[in-house]
């Protein structure tokens, strides 16, 4: 494997369901389902905006998705509740395997880049509060070209920005749509299968490598 690794942020490095605890205070047993639907709708809104050519900050997709799921579930969250949930989303935790795996990769002199649909400001803040910002060599945000993954232009921008060939650029993501998008654009890709029950989309574009954690990835790269 080559030495340029581009890590997806939301869902791969950062646990997007870290908001469940805050949701539980308001929704009780319905918190996990609300969190899942919020994440699904957030991605759907980004995809739809990408197709429409109507780019907006990823945080806007997140807020609009929160509003939709609140209406769809009849949860009747207050505006204060929604602001607190959005604030929680800005300080979500990193998965436990992230920091030690990144440290091992740094010791192996692998180039490590955070690559996200989120804005640069939002992602910097998120990684900083999680204590892992300094473990990256660079940060690439889609806002720089105002398109969303899995648009092929986003992956082309990534490897051009890194001055690496597609074949030398490895996307590392827990999101199958991201892995397939990278493969379609000619990049190499690692799927981090964080749940043993998670299926991969049956499109025929399989990841070059599948791991259950970033620890496993670091071990295989050592």
**Catalytic amino acids?**
8
Count of positions (residues) in the chain: 222
143 CB-side CA count, 13 A:
13
Alpha-carbon span 163 to 168, nearest angstrom: 10
Instruction: Find out whether the peptide bond into 150 is cis, omega within 30 degrees of 0.
Output: yes
Neighbour count for residue 111 (Cβ, 10 Å): 19
Instruction: Say how far apart CA 168 and CA 153 lie, in whole Å.
Output: 17
């Amino acid at each position: 494997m080559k030495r340029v690794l581009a890590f997806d942020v939301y869902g791969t490095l950062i646990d997007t369901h870290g908001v469940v605890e805050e949701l539980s205070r308001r929704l009780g047993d319905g918190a996990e389902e609300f969190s899942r639907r919020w994440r699904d709708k957030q991605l759907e809104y980004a995809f739809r905006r990408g197709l429409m050519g109507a780019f907006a900050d990823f945080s806007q997709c997140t807020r609009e998705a929160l509003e939709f799921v609140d209406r769809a579930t009849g949860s009747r969250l207050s505006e204060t509740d929604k602001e607190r949930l959005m604030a929680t989303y800005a300080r979500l935790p990193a998965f436990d395997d992230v920091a030690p795996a990144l440290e091992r990769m740094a010791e192996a002199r692998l180039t490590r880049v955070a690559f996200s649909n989120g804005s640069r400001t939002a992602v910097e803040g998120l990684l900083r509060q999680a204590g892992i910002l300094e473990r990256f060599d660079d940060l690439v945000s889609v806002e720089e070209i105002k398109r969303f993954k899995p648009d092929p232009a986003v992956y082309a921008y990534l490897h051009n920005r890194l001055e690496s060939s597609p074949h030398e650029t490895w996307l590392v993501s827990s999101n199958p749509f991201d892995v397939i998008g990278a493969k379609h654009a000619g990049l190499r890709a690692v799927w981090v299968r964080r749940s043993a029950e998670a299926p991969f989309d049956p499109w025929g574009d399989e990841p070059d490598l599948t791991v259950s954690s970033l620890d496993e990835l670091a071990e295989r790269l050592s």
